[in-house]
A and B are shown apart, each in its own frame.
Chain A
Amino acid sequence: MRTRRRLRAVCVAVLCVIFVVGLFAGTVSPYSYSKQFRERPNAAPSSSHLLGTDSLGRDLFARLIYGTRVSLLLAPAAALLATLIAGLLGGFAGFMGGWCEKLILSAADLSMALPLLFVLLALRAVLPLDIPPILSVIATFILLGLLGWPSSLRVVWAATKNLKNSDFLLLARATGCTRWRMIARHVLPNLRPILLAQFWISIPVFVLTEATLSMLGLGVTEPLPSWGNLLRGLEDISGVSANPWRLSPLILLVLVVICFQLILPAQEETA
């Protein structure tokens, strides 16, 4: 237990450092993420370019930390949105029951049946073209948040259903406790660990979904970097073996996903 706590502290520290570097990317980075040093494409790491340059001669270190800002700030925002929707609808369905429950669960099932990738493709296609890249990114993450709630909803709904049938809620109802007081004082505090777990689980999922979308050229658009579009540089495997520093976005992504997984409360802690 103690080891786990220590490990969790290390993970939190690592995530905090990465977050802070991403947040102050403009100060930390020596160059703009879009500046092309055309005389130095695919350059090896040097004192002027710590991680070398990409195929267009852009500083890879600058792109990595700006990409961190995009991926690590927007993925939690999308996770928060998805968890809030799941918490509200799941809690409501579980607590109210009846036709309301059936309707919400059917909607969740329908959403889960939709192929997320194609829905995102279609939605991106109908977005106006002249929106700036940063708005396009925000729109992408909002879409991820709006479409990513159904699996969390099922968990929240099941937990609420259990709570509703619990002895302490029966007792509260017997003592004349109002419905809203029961939700505020008894249901929500008991759902908190589940909602938190869903939130932490969703962050790496959204980071990876954005990475997948960018790998397909549909997420964050040029010249704005994200971990996803930085990972596209790995498509050329032999290029990577020649320039192994191109693996840095992948290493960072793996590190962040592992850290998020390790800081999640253990099952026995949430129980």
Chain B
Amino acid sequence: MPSPSPLKKKLVLISLLAFALPARAQTGGELHFCLRGEPKTFNPILVDDDASENIRYLTGGVLIRLNRQSQALGPALATSWSVSHDRRTITFHLRKGIHFSDGTPFTSEDVAYTMRLLMDPETHSPTGDAFRSSEGAVQVQTPAADVAVITFPAPIAGLERLFDQVAILSAHSPKKEMAVLGPFYVADYKAGSYVLLHKNPNYWKHDAQGQALPYIDSVRLDIQRNRDIELLRFRRGELQLINRLEAEQFERLQHDNPAVTRNAGTGLDAEELWFNQSPAAPLPEYKKAWFSTKEFRKAISLAINRADLCRIVYAGYAKPAYGPVSPSNHFWFNASLEDPKYDPQVALNLLTQAGFRLDNDTLKDRAGNRVEFTIVTNSGNAAREKIAAMIQQDLSQVGIKVNVVTLDFPSLIERITRTFDYDACILGLVNTDLDPSGQMNVWLSSGENHQWNPSQKTPATAWEAEIDKLMREQATAATEKERKGKFDRVQQIVAEQQPFIYLINKDVLVAVSSNVVGAAPVVLNPAGFWNVDILRLGPASEFGVQK
């Protein structure tokens, strides 16, 4: 019996593959969603905004990729890597036979070129800042076309993880940064209107059946700041994805069509309240004394009903926050921390122990000053204004009078970073990095983002000194386990001292049209399209016209 010809074999294989795929899925087509702002740059090493970050994710090829679902690092352009014991040197073994989107071959020279540009002070690369552990030059050696050895002047914590943000540029391509190694390349861009990405024909990744990825031919990213319009267009079937929804929008959408809503779980971002403890603050001494008292801060934390904040402000799509690390950060979250509690009576007892007394439903300090302070937040953020109003009522139960003032953002920043003329502030902390080293500027007492008392010359308190020491030690610790132990202790101190009173962690809410096959939203950015290379588009959206 004659064996089937190679062509027949191929046809059989394709037919089998077609049956193996989900019935509605197909390759090709255009995925359509929105960017919330204008991308400031297409140069991956200059990325400093969300829109550019999304473009970088979709177009950039990196040596190591953080799997957004498992939160583990995996090989990408590098098949393997090793970090020296002193955490200063990393050696990459690169994939062979890979080409940039314009056909230029990829070699270790491109890695060296990218690192040189990244670390050049003239480039002012925000991505490069994460690698600047100390003075001194970064050495890149390329002993072979598929080996790159990078040596830093000082140890860097979580070194390999940082390469998830480094999109490799071509040293030789005439197209400069427009030659990419990621799943898509920028084909067209109209300022203020859209960015069109086309499938990279030279993308290195293939599926288990050997089919070239990505499955989708193109991605159209409309630039749309107005979230209501974005939602309306999604409802009309003009968009297939909304990467992050507000709780109210999510609930409305869920009411209309629950199949398109996906709650990826508790996110990394937190809303927090802090008291101004800066000695330079133009506040009365008695207020400074309240704010620097641990019992006062703990009592405030205990008197805030976080469950109500989650239920009312976020329609249940948020969780009470434990501390600086969200439980979604699987590795770094300190699971031994106590649940955030709501107990006004215990709060009152703590205040009494600290010398406060309740006098006709009014809390007074030892000197007879009424406990009253003002919370500032940025105007136009309805959720924060609601949080402030709810805290106002919660604290009235322990006799504390709270005023709420909303300020435009520049005025607010002026007050919290320069004049320090405020009592307490509610703002959100955007956490894009799983690793605690990304929070150095928050936890080191000398840090500018050490909001309750920034830019200290020497730590003002013993516990801040201990945090400084632990943060520096974790940055140079030899093993991840050792680092984790030290950062667990930092979280413990923060829970005891409450310099930031963490309120809630918002859920990551995504809308995905039912014709997008393979979407699996996660809490890490980019939540809805982190696996864009394996997404497929089915027949026209089932959402269709608005109900």
A residues in contact (CB < 8 Å) with B: 34-36, 38, 41, 55-57, 121, 124-125, 129-133, 136, 216-218, 221-223, 232, 235-239
Contact A130 B423 (CB under 8 A): yes
Contact B308 A38 (CB under 8 A): yes
List the A residue with the shortest CB-CB distance to B252: A238
For A124, list chain B residues within 8 Å (CB).
407
For B376, list chain A residues within 8 Å (CB).
129
Contact B379 A217 (CB under 8 A): yes
Q: How far is the CB of B545 from chain A (nearest CB, A)?
A: 16
For A239, list chain B residues within 8 Å (CB).
248, 252
B388 is an interface residue with CB less than 8 A from chain A: yes
Contact A223 B392 (CB under 8 A): yes
Contact A129 B403 (CB under 8 A): yes
B406 is an interface residue with CB less than 8 A from chain A: yes
B371 is an interface residue with CB less than 8 A from chain A: no
How far apart sit A133 and B381, CA to CA, in the bound complex (Å)?
A: 19
Contact A125 B374 (CB under 8 A): no
Q: How far is the CB of B410 from chain A (nearest CB, A)?
A: 8
For B414, list chain A residues within 8 Å (CB).
125
B421 is an interface residue with CB less than 8 A from chain A: yes
For B379, list chain A residues within 8 Å (CB).
216-218
For A237, list chain B residues within 8 Å (CB).
228
For A38, list chain B residues within 8 Å (CB).
308, 311-312
B212 is an interface residue with CB less than 8 A from chain A: no
Question: 21 A-B contacts, Cβ less than 8 Å apart?
Answer: A34-B392, A34-B393, A36-B389, A36-B393, A41-B312, A56-B312, A121-B411, A125-B407, A125-B408, A129-B405, A130-B403, A130-B423, A133-B404, A136-B405, A217-B385, A218-B379, A218-B408, A221-B405, A221-B406, A222-B389, A237-B228
How far apart sit A216 and B308, CA to CA, in the bound complex (Å)?
A: 25
For A55, list chain B residues within 8 Å (CB).
312, 386
For A235, list chain B residues within 8 Å (CB).
382
How far apart sit A168 and B395, CA to CA, in the bound complex (Å)?
A: 68
List the B residue with the shortest CB-CB distance to A229: B385
For B76, list chain A residues within 8 Å (CB).
none
Given the known interface contacts A221-B403, A222-B404, the answer about A129 and B411 at a Cβ–Cβ threshold of 8 Å is no
9 interchain residue pairs of minimum CB distance: A217-B379, A125-B411, A129-B374, A217-B406, A222-B389, A222-B404, A129-B405, A36-B393, A130-B374
Q: How far is the CB of B55 from chain A (nearest CB, A)?
A: 30
Given the known interface contacts A36-B390, A218-B408, the answer about A132 and B382 at a Cβ–Cβ threshold of 8 Å is no
How far apart sit A34 and B372, CA to CA, in the bound complex (Å)?
A: 17
- Picked from A41, A133, A222, the residue with its CB within 8 Å of the CB of B385 is A222
List the A residue with the shortest CB-CB distance to B412: A125
For B311, list chain A residues within 8 Å (CB).
38
Q: Which of B379, B386, B405, B415 has its CB near the most chain A CB atoms (within 10 A)?
A: B405
For A216, list chain B residues within 8 Å (CB).
379-380
List the B residue with the shortest CB-CB distance to A129: B374
For B312, list chain A residues within 8 Å (CB).
38, 41, 55-57
Given the known interface contacts A36-B390, A57-B312, A238-B252, the answer about A217 and B380 at a Cβ–Cβ threshold of 8 Å is yes
Q: How far is the CB of B297 from chain A (nearest CB, A)?
A: 19
For B228, list chain A residues within 8 Å (CB).
237
List the A residue with the shortest CB-CB distance to B386: A56
B331 is an interface residue with CB less than 8 A from chain A: no
- Picked from A121, A129, A217, A238, the residue with its CB within 8 Å of the CB of B422 is A129
